Amino acid sequence: MASTPTGPLSPLPPLPPLTPVPPLLETSAMSATIERVRRGRIIRESITLPLIFLTVSFGGGLRVAAASRHLVFLPPSLMALVLALLLLGALVRSGTLVPEALLRPDRPPLANASGLIVVITLFVAAAQVFNTTTPESGLLQFIVNLFFLLLLWNTVAAQPDRRRMIASLIVILGGAFVVKYVVLGALYDPAGGLTKRVLMTMLEGVTLGGLTYESPAPITGYVAFFTVLLFLIGVTLLPARAAGPDPGDR
Amino acid sequence: MGPTLIRSLGLVLTVAYGSLIVWTYANQPRTVAEMTGGITASVGAYRIDQPSYQDGLRYFHADRFLEARSAFARADPAKQDATTQFYIAYSFLREGWGRVYSDPALLQQARATLEHAIEVAPGGRINVADPNLTLTTSDELRAEIARGLTHDASDMNPFKVFRRRP
Protein backbone atom coordinates (compact mmCIF):
# COMPACT_ATOMS: atom_id res chain seq x y z
CA MET A 1 0.00 0.00 0.00
CA ALA A 2 1.51 3.19 -1.08
CA SER A 3 1.48 6.09 1.29
CA THR A 4 1.49 9.71 0.42
CA PRO A 5 4.81 11.26 1.23
CA THR A 6 4.55 13.99 3.75
CA GLY A 7 7.02 16.85 3.75
CA PRO A 8 7.35 19.94 5.89
CA LEU A 9 4.40 22.35 5.61
CA SER A 10 5.02 25.26 3.32
CA PRO A 11 4.36 28.64 4.98
CA LEU A 12 1.11 30.33 4.08
CA PRO A 13 1.32 33.35 1.84
CA PRO A 14 1.08 36.58 3.77
CA LEU A 15 -2.42 37.99 4.10
CA PRO A 16 -3.13 41.28 2.37
CA PRO A 17 -3.15 44.16 4.83
CA LEU A 18 -6.57 44.98 6.25
CA THR A 19 -8.05 48.17 5.00
CA PRO A 20 -10.44 49.56 7.64
CA VAL A 21 -10.88 52.88 5.80
CA PRO A 22 -13.69 51.97 3.31
CA PRO A 23 -16.18 50.80 5.98
CA LEU A 24 -15.47 53.92 8.00
CA LEU A 25 -16.00 56.06 4.92
CA GLU A 26 -19.25 54.27 4.24
CA THR A 27 -20.45 54.85 7.79
CA SER A 28 -19.62 58.55 7.71
CA ALA A 29 -21.28 58.92 4.29
CA MET A 30 -24.40 57.21 5.60
CA SER A 31 -24.51 59.37 8.69
CA ALA A 32 -24.03 62.47 6.53
CA THR A 33 -26.95 61.37 4.35
CA ILE A 34 -29.10 60.71 7.41
CA GLU A 35 -28.18 64.12 8.79
CA ARG A 36 -29.00 65.78 5.46
CA VAL A 37 -32.38 64.03 5.29
CA ARG A 38 -33.15 64.97 8.88
CA ARG A 39 -32.20 68.59 8.29
CA GLY A 40 -34.33 68.66 5.12
CA ARG A 41 -37.27 67.32 7.08
CA ILE A 42 -36.81 69.95 9.79
CA ILE A 43 -36.62 72.75 7.18
CA ARG A 44 -39.72 71.40 5.45
CA GLU A 45 -41.65 71.21 8.71
CA SER A 46 -40.49 74.52 10.19
CA ILE A 47 -40.22 76.79 7.16
CA THR A 48 -41.49 75.34 3.86
CA LEU A 49 -44.88 73.96 4.93
CA PRO A 50 -45.95 76.93 7.11
CA LEU A 51 -44.96 79.41 4.40
CA ILE A 52 -46.80 77.42 1.71
CA PHE A 53 -49.97 77.14 3.79
CA LEU A 54 -49.83 80.80 4.87
CA THR A 55 -49.51 81.85 1.22
CA VAL A 56 -52.55 79.70 0.42
CA SER A 57 -54.40 81.33 3.36
CA PHE A 58 -53.56 84.76 1.94
CA GLY A 59 -54.43 84.00 -1.68
CA GLY A 60 -57.55 81.96 -0.91
CA GLY A 61 -59.54 84.98 0.22
CA LEU A 62 -58.25 87.43 -2.36
CA ARG A 63 -60.76 88.71 -4.90
CA VAL A 64 -60.42 91.53 -7.38
CA ALA A 65 -63.74 93.25 -8.06
CA ALA A 66 -64.49 93.26 -11.79
CA ALA A 67 -65.95 96.77 -11.90
CA SER A 68 -63.76 98.80 -9.54
CA ARG A 69 -60.60 96.61 -9.64
CA HIS A 70 -60.47 96.95 -5.87
CA LEU A 71 -58.93 94.20 -3.76
CA VAL A 72 -61.26 92.37 -1.40
CA PHE A 73 -60.02 89.94 1.25
CA LEU A 74 -62.69 87.43 2.27
CA PRO A 75 -62.20 85.46 5.47
CA PRO A 76 -63.40 81.83 5.35
CA SER A 77 -67.09 81.19 5.95
CA LEU A 78 -68.27 78.87 8.73
CA MET A 79 -69.05 76.21 6.14
CA ALA A 80 -65.48 76.46 4.80
CA LEU A 81 -64.18 75.83 8.34
CA VAL A 82 -66.39 72.74 8.65
CA LEU A 83 -65.20 71.44 5.28
CA ALA A 84 -61.57 72.10 6.27
CA LEU A 85 -62.04 70.05 9.42
CA LEU A 86 -63.55 67.24 7.39
CA LEU A 87 -60.63 67.39 4.96
CA LEU A 88 -58.12 67.22 7.83
CA GLY A 89 -59.93 64.12 9.08
CA ALA A 90 -59.74 62.57 5.63
CA LEU A 91 -56.02 63.38 5.35
CA VAL A 92 -55.33 61.74 8.72
CA ARG A 93 -57.42 58.63 7.98
CA SER A 94 -55.73 58.14 4.61
CA GLY A 95 -52.25 58.51 6.13
CA THR A 96 -51.53 61.63 4.06
CA LEU A 97 -50.99 63.44 7.35
CA VAL A 98 -49.53 61.69 10.38
CA PRO A 99 -50.14 63.86 13.43
CA GLU A 100 -47.68 61.81 15.55
CA ALA A 101 -44.89 62.91 13.23
CA LEU A 102 -45.65 66.52 14.11
CA LEU A 103 -46.82 66.38 17.72
CA ARG A 104 -45.48 63.87 20.24
CA PRO A 105 -44.78 64.07 23.97
CA ASP A 106 -41.15 62.97 23.48
CA ARG A 107 -40.36 65.82 21.09
CA PRO A 108 -38.80 69.05 22.35
CA PRO A 109 -41.25 71.94 22.86
CA LEU A 110 -39.85 73.88 19.90
CA ALA A 111 -40.34 70.89 17.59
CA ASN A 112 -43.91 70.44 18.85
CA ALA A 113 -44.53 74.17 18.30
CA SER A 114 -43.39 73.77 14.67
CA GLY A 115 -45.67 70.75 14.29
CA LEU A 116 -48.62 72.61 15.78
CA ILE A 117 -48.03 75.51 13.40
CA VAL A 118 -48.09 73.11 10.44
CA VAL A 119 -51.45 71.70 11.58
CA ILE A 120 -52.97 75.15 12.24
CA THR A 121 -51.76 76.65 8.95
CA LEU A 122 -52.94 73.53 7.08
CA PHE A 123 -56.40 73.96 8.59
CA VAL A 124 -56.61 77.67 7.68
CA ALA A 125 -55.23 76.99 4.19
CA ALA A 126 -57.79 74.21 3.64
CA ALA A 127 -60.59 76.57 4.71
CA GLN A 128 -59.32 79.25 2.33
CA VAL A 129 -59.03 76.78 -0.56
CA PHE A 130 -62.72 75.91 -0.09
CA ASN A 131 -63.40 79.64 0.20
CA THR A 132 -61.75 80.37 -3.15
CA THR A 133 -63.41 77.49 -5.03
CA THR A 134 -66.93 78.22 -3.73
CA PRO A 135 -69.23 80.96 -5.11
CA GLU A 136 -69.55 83.78 -2.60
CA SER A 137 -73.32 83.72 -2.12
CA GLY A 138 -76.67 82.44 -3.24
CA LEU A 139 -77.96 79.07 -4.35
CA LEU A 140 -74.76 78.25 -6.22
CA GLN A 141 -72.79 78.54 -2.97
CA PHE A 142 -75.19 76.12 -1.29
CA ILE A 143 -74.94 73.63 -4.17
CA VAL A 144 -71.12 73.70 -4.26
CA ASN A 145 -70.89 73.40 -0.47
CA LEU A 146 -73.20 70.39 -0.59
CA PHE A 147 -71.06 68.92 -3.38
CA PHE A 148 -67.93 69.34 -1.23
CA LEU A 149 -69.61 67.91 1.85
CA LEU A 150 -70.83 64.77 0.10
CA LEU A 151 -67.54 64.18 -1.72
CA LEU A 152 -65.47 64.57 1.44
CA TRP A 153 -67.84 62.40 3.42
CA ASN A 154 -67.55 59.76 0.72
CA THR A 155 -63.75 60.06 0.77
CA VAL A 156 -63.62 59.62 4.55
CA ALA A 157 -65.90 56.58 4.33
CA ALA A 158 -63.88 55.01 1.50
CA GLN A 159 -60.62 55.23 3.55
CA PRO A 160 -58.34 55.63 0.53
CA ASP A 161 -54.55 55.38 0.76
CA ARG A 162 -52.35 58.48 0.42
CA ARG A 163 -51.97 58.28 -3.36
CA ARG A 164 -55.71 57.93 -3.94
CA MET A 165 -56.49 60.63 -1.38
CA ILE A 166 -54.30 63.13 -3.22
CA ALA A 167 -55.79 62.09 -6.58
CA SER A 168 -59.28 62.52 -5.11
CA LEU A 169 -58.36 65.95 -3.76
CA ILE A 170 -57.06 67.03 -7.17
CA VAL A 171 -60.36 65.97 -8.74
CA ILE A 172 -62.52 67.66 -6.06
CA LEU A 173 -60.65 70.98 -6.03
CA GLY A 174 -59.91 70.96 -9.76
CA GLY A 175 -63.56 70.31 -10.56
CA ALA A 176 -64.76 73.06 -8.27
CA PHE A 177 -62.20 75.46 -9.72
CA VAL A 178 -63.33 74.72 -13.28
CA VAL A 179 -67.00 75.14 -12.33
CA LYS A 180 -66.46 78.48 -10.60
CA TYR A 181 -63.80 80.22 -12.64
CA VAL A 182 -64.26 78.68 -16.09
CA VAL A 183 -67.92 77.70 -16.45
CA LEU A 184 -69.65 80.24 -14.17
CA GLY A 185 -67.08 82.91 -15.03
CA ALA A 186 -67.93 82.49 -18.71
CA LEU A 187 -71.70 82.20 -18.20
CA TYR A 188 -71.90 85.36 -16.13
CA ASP A 189 -69.30 87.32 -18.09
CA PRO A 190 -71.06 90.60 -18.92
CA ALA A 191 -68.88 91.05 -22.00
CA GLY A 192 -69.85 87.61 -23.35
CA GLY A 193 -67.20 85.67 -25.26
CA LEU A 194 -66.66 82.46 -27.16
CA THR A 195 -66.93 80.19 -24.10
CA LYS A 196 -70.24 81.78 -23.14
CA ARG A 197 -71.63 81.35 -26.64
CA VAL A 198 -70.51 77.70 -26.76
CA LEU A 199 -71.99 76.98 -23.34
CA MET A 200 -75.26 78.71 -24.14
CA THR A 201 -75.50 76.75 -27.38
CA MET A 202 -74.84 73.49 -25.56
CA LEU A 203 -77.44 74.37 -22.93
CA GLU A 204 -79.98 75.39 -25.53
CA GLY A 205 -83.37 76.00 -24.00
CA VAL A 206 -81.97 76.37 -20.50
CA THR A 207 -81.95 79.79 -18.88
CA LEU A 208 -80.04 80.91 -15.82
CA GLY A 209 -83.30 82.13 -14.29
CA GLY A 210 -82.89 83.50 -10.78
CA LEU A 211 -79.41 82.05 -10.26
CA THR A 212 -77.24 85.02 -9.43
CA TYR A 213 -73.47 85.09 -9.48
CA GLU A 214 -71.04 88.01 -9.50
CA SER A 215 -68.11 87.21 -11.71
CA PRO A 216 -64.80 88.57 -10.32
CA ALA A 217 -62.01 90.07 -12.43
CA PRO A 218 -60.08 87.47 -14.46
CA ILE A 219 -56.97 87.91 -12.31
CA THR A 220 -58.86 86.36 -9.40
CA GLY A 221 -59.03 83.10 -11.36
CA TYR A 222 -55.26 83.09 -11.91
CA VAL A 223 -54.64 83.75 -8.21
CA ALA A 224 -57.08 80.96 -7.30
CA PHE A 225 -55.40 78.54 -9.71
CA PHE A 226 -51.96 79.02 -8.17
CA THR A 227 -53.46 78.97 -4.66
CA VAL A 228 -55.07 75.57 -5.26
CA LEU A 229 -51.89 74.27 -6.92
CA LEU A 230 -49.76 75.46 -3.99
CA PHE A 231 -52.15 73.83 -1.54
CA LEU A 232 -51.87 70.49 -3.35
CA ILE A 233 -48.07 70.77 -3.32
CA GLY A 234 -48.21 71.47 0.40
CA VAL A 235 -50.43 68.42 1.00
CA THR A 236 -47.97 66.15 -0.86
CA LEU A 237 -45.14 67.49 1.33
CA LEU A 238 -46.93 66.61 4.59
CA PRO A 239 -45.32 63.88 6.73
CA ALA A 240 -47.10 60.77 5.50
CA ARG A 241 -47.64 57.35 7.04
CA ALA A 242 -44.90 55.72 4.94
CA ALA A 243 -42.31 58.06 6.38
CA GLY A 244 -43.45 57.39 9.94
CA PRO A 245 -42.17 59.10 13.04
CA ASP A 246 -38.40 59.35 13.30
CA PRO A 247 -37.05 57.90 16.56
CA GLY A 248 -34.05 60.20 16.37
CA ASP A 249 -36.28 63.21 15.92
CA ARG A 250 -34.85 66.38 17.39
CA MET B 1 -27.33 75.51 11.03
CA GLY B 2 -28.66 73.48 13.96
CA PRO B 3 -32.22 72.19 14.28
CA THR B 4 -33.04 74.63 17.07
CA LEU B 5 -31.91 77.58 14.98
CA ILE B 6 -33.88 76.36 11.93
CA ARG B 7 -37.02 75.87 14.01
CA SER B 8 -36.62 79.28 15.68
CA LEU B 9 -36.14 80.95 12.29
CA GLY B 10 -39.24 79.17 10.98
CA LEU B 11 -41.24 80.28 14.00
CA VAL B 12 -40.19 83.94 13.54
CA LEU B 13 -40.93 83.86 9.80
CA THR B 14 -44.32 82.23 10.35
CA VAL B 15 -45.34 84.70 13.05
CA ALA B 16 -44.25 87.67 10.90
CA TYR B 17 -45.98 86.40 7.76
CA GLY B 18 -49.09 85.37 9.69
CA SER B 19 -49.31 88.82 11.32
CA LEU B 20 -49.07 90.44 7.89
CA ILE B 21 -51.95 88.30 6.61
CA VAL B 22 -54.08 89.01 9.68
CA TRP B 23 -53.38 92.74 9.28
CA THR B 24 -54.38 92.61 5.61
CA TYR B 25 -57.65 90.79 6.29
CA ALA B 26 -58.47 93.06 9.24
CA ASN B 27 -57.74 96.34 7.41
CA GLN B 28 -59.03 95.36 3.96
CA PRO B 29 -56.75 97.56 1.80
CA ARG B 30 -58.45 98.20 -1.53
CA THR B 31 -55.34 98.74 -3.65
CA VAL B 32 -51.78 97.46 -3.70
CA ALA B 33 -50.63 101.02 -2.81
CA GLU B 34 -52.86 101.00 0.28
CA MET B 35 -51.54 97.58 1.26
CA THR B 36 -47.85 98.46 0.92
CA GLY B 37 -48.44 101.88 2.48
CA GLY B 38 -50.26 100.33 5.41
CA ILE B 39 -47.46 97.86 6.00
CA THR B 40 -44.76 100.54 5.85
CA ALA B 41 -46.87 102.79 8.11
CA SER B 42 -47.17 100.00 10.67
CA VAL B 43 -43.37 99.95 10.97
CA GLY B 44 -43.14 103.77 10.91
CA ALA B 45 -41.52 103.95 7.47
CA TYR B 46 -44.35 105.57 5.50
CA ARG B 47 -43.64 108.98 3.94
CA ILE B 48 -45.98 111.15 1.88
CA ASP B 49 -44.95 112.87 -1.34
CA GLN B 50 -44.12 116.38 -0.11
CA PRO B 51 -44.35 118.29 -3.46
CA SER B 52 -47.85 116.87 -4.07
CA TYR B 53 -48.83 117.70 -0.50
CA GLN B 54 -47.69 121.31 -0.97
CA ASP B 55 -49.69 121.46 -4.23
CA GLY B 56 -52.71 120.19 -2.32
CA LEU B 57 -52.31 122.86 0.37
CA ARG B 58 -52.01 125.61 -2.24
CA TYR B 59 -55.18 124.47 -4.02
CA PHE B 60 -56.99 124.03 -0.71
CA HIS B 61 -56.26 127.58 0.42
CA ALA B 62 -57.37 128.85 -3.00
CA ASP B 63 -60.74 127.04 -2.51
CA ARG B 64 -60.03 124.75 -5.47
CA PHE B 65 -61.18 121.65 -3.66
CA LEU B 66 -61.30 119.13 -6.51
CA GLU B 67 -57.71 119.95 -7.46
CA ALA B 68 -56.70 119.88 -3.80
CA ARG B 69 -58.17 116.39 -3.27
CA SER B 70 -56.47 115.13 -6.39
CA ALA B 71 -53.08 116.42 -5.19
CA PHE B 72 -53.63 115.10 -1.66
CA ALA B 73 -54.57 111.68 -3.05
CA ARG B 74 -51.33 111.67 -5.03
CA ALA B 75 -49.37 112.68 -1.93
CA ASP B 76 -50.90 109.98 0.26
CA PRO B 77 -51.90 107.06 -2.02
CA ALA B 78 -52.08 104.61 0.88
CA LYS B 79 -54.33 106.94 2.93
CA GLN B 80 -52.09 106.49 5.94
CA ASP B 81 -51.16 110.10 6.72
CA ALA B 82 -53.63 111.57 9.20
CA THR B 83 -52.92 115.24 8.37
CA THR B 84 -53.41 114.75 4.63
CA GLN B 85 -56.63 112.85 5.23
CA PHE B 86 -57.73 115.63 7.60
CA TYR B 87 -57.28 118.18 4.80
CA ILE B 88 -59.23 115.95 2.38
CA ALA B 89 -62.08 115.74 4.90
CA TYR B 90 -61.88 119.50 5.41
CA SER B 91 -62.07 120.08 1.64
CA PHE B 92 -65.27 118.02 1.48
CA LEU B 93 -66.71 120.08 4.34
CA ARG B 94 -65.81 123.43 2.79
CA GLU B 95 -67.15 122.37 -0.60
CA GLY B 96 -70.37 121.01 0.86
CA TRP B 97 -70.94 123.79 3.39
CA GLY B 98 -73.40 126.53 2.49
CA ARG B 99 -74.93 129.48 4.29
CA VAL B 100 -78.45 128.38 3.32
CA TYR B 101 -78.03 124.72 2.45
CA SER B 102 -75.28 122.11 2.98
CA ASP B 103 -74.74 119.23 0.56
CA PRO B 104 -75.31 116.06 2.63
CA ALA B 105 -73.46 113.82 0.13
CA LEU B 106 -70.26 115.84 0.44
CA LEU B 107 -70.60 116.05 4.23
CA GLN B 108 -71.00 112.27 4.38
CA GLN B 109 -67.78 111.92 2.42
CA ALA B 110 -66.13 114.39 4.82
CA ARG B 111 -67.29 112.30 7.76
CA ALA B 112 -66.04 109.01 6.25
CA THR B 113 -62.64 110.51 5.40
CA LEU B 114 -62.29 112.09 8.83
CA GLU B 115 -63.17 108.83 10.61
CA HIS B 116 -60.47 107.07 8.58
CA ALA B 117 -58.00 109.88 9.38
CA ILE B 118 -58.74 109.46 13.10
CA GLU B 119 -58.21 105.69 12.75
CA VAL B 120 -54.73 106.11 11.32
CA ALA B 121 -53.76 109.05 13.58
CA PRO B 122 -51.45 108.22 16.48
CA GLY B 123 -53.57 108.41 19.62
CA GLY B 124 -56.72 108.87 17.55
CA ARG B 125 -56.43 112.67 17.62
CA ILE B 126 -55.41 115.13 14.90
CA ASN B 127 -54.19 118.65 15.58
CA VAL B 128 -53.15 120.74 12.57
CA ALA B 129 -51.19 123.95 13.18
CA ASP B 130 -52.55 125.92 10.22
CA PRO B 131 -53.62 129.53 10.96
CA ASN B 132 -55.81 129.55 7.84
CA LEU B 133 -58.11 126.88 9.29
CA THR B 134 -61.06 127.72 11.51
CA LEU B 135 -61.18 124.18 12.86
CA THR B 136 -57.74 122.81 13.74
CA THR B 137 -58.56 119.56 15.54
CA SER B 138 -60.34 116.39 14.51
CA ASP B 139 -62.87 116.90 17.32
CA GLU B 140 -63.87 120.36 16.02
CA LEU B 141 -64.10 119.13 12.43
CA ARG B 142 -66.18 116.10 13.45
CA ALA B 143 -68.60 118.33 15.40
CA GLU B 144 -68.96 120.77 12.48
CA ILE B 145 -69.71 117.94 10.06
CA ALA B 146 -72.29 116.54 12.49
CA ARG B 147 -73.92 119.98 12.76
CA GLY B 148 -74.09 120.21 8.97
CA LEU B 149 -75.79 116.84 8.76
CA THR B 150 -78.32 117.60 11.48
CA HIS B 151 -81.62 119.21 10.55
CA ASP B 152 -83.62 120.95 13.27
CA ALA B 153 -85.62 124.11 13.97
CA SER B 154 -82.47 126.28 14.01
CA ASP B 155 -82.23 125.73 10.22
CA MET B 156 -85.11 128.20 9.93
CA ASN B 157 -83.15 130.95 11.67
CA PRO B 158 -82.52 133.67 9.01
CA PHE B 159 -79.41 134.90 10.86
CA LYS B 160 -77.80 131.59 9.99
CA VAL B 161 -76.65 133.10 6.71
CA PHE B 162 -74.28 135.38 8.61
CA ARG B 163 -72.40 132.58 10.34
CA ARG B 164 -68.71 132.21 9.68
CA ARG B 165 -67.51 129.63 7.16
CA PRO B 166 -65.61 126.77 8.90
**Interface contact A51-B31, CB threshold 8 A:** no
| A:B CB pairs within 8 Å | 65
CA max distance for chain A: 118
Q: Is the pLDDT of residue A193 over 60?
A: yes
Question: What confidence tier does A203 reach under pLDDT thresholds 50, 70, 90?
Answer: low
Q: Do B6 and A47 count as a contact with CB atoms less than 8 A apart?
A: yes
Highest mean pLDDT among A55-59, A92-96, A134-138: A55-59
Closest chain A CA to residue B25: A73
Closest CA to B94 of B117, B114, B65: B65
CA distance B55 to B87: 12
pTM (2 d.p.): 0.76
pLDDT at A160 > cutoff 70:
yes
Query: What value of ipTM does the predicted structure carry?
Result: 0.77
Report the share of chain A in percent with pLDDT over 90: 52
User: Contact at 8 Å (CB) between B120 and B41?
Assistant: yes
Distances in whole angstroms, Cα of residue A238 to Cα of each of A172, A242, B74, B108: 19, 11, 46, 52
Low pLDDT (below 70) residues in chain B: none
CA distance A57 to chain B (A): 8
pLDDT tens digit string along A233-242? 999 999 987 6
Tens digits of residue pLDDT in A133-145: 999 888 888 999 9
Per-residue pLDDT reduced to its tens digit, B129-161 = 999 999 999 999 999 999 999 888 877 788 877
Which chain B residues in 12-41 lie under 8 Å from chain A, judged by CB atoms?
Answer: 13-14, 17-18, 21, 24-25, 28-32, 35
Span A11-19, average pLDDT = 69
What pLDDT sits at residue B24? Answer: 93
How near does any CA of chain B get to the CA of A120, in Å? Answer: 11
Quick one: DSSP state of residue B127? B
Q: Which residues contact A186 (CB under 8 A, 6 or more apart)?
A: A193, A195, A196, A199
* Nearest residue to A122 (alpha-carbon basis) of A222, A48, A30: A48
- Using alpha carbons only, what angle is made at residue B42 by residues B50 and A131, rounded to the nearest 5 degrees? 120
| Average pLDDT of chain A, as a whole number | 84
Q: Is the pLDDT of residue A205 over 70?
A: no
What pLDDT band is residue A2 in, cutting at 50, 70 and 90? very low
pLDDT at A19 over 70: no
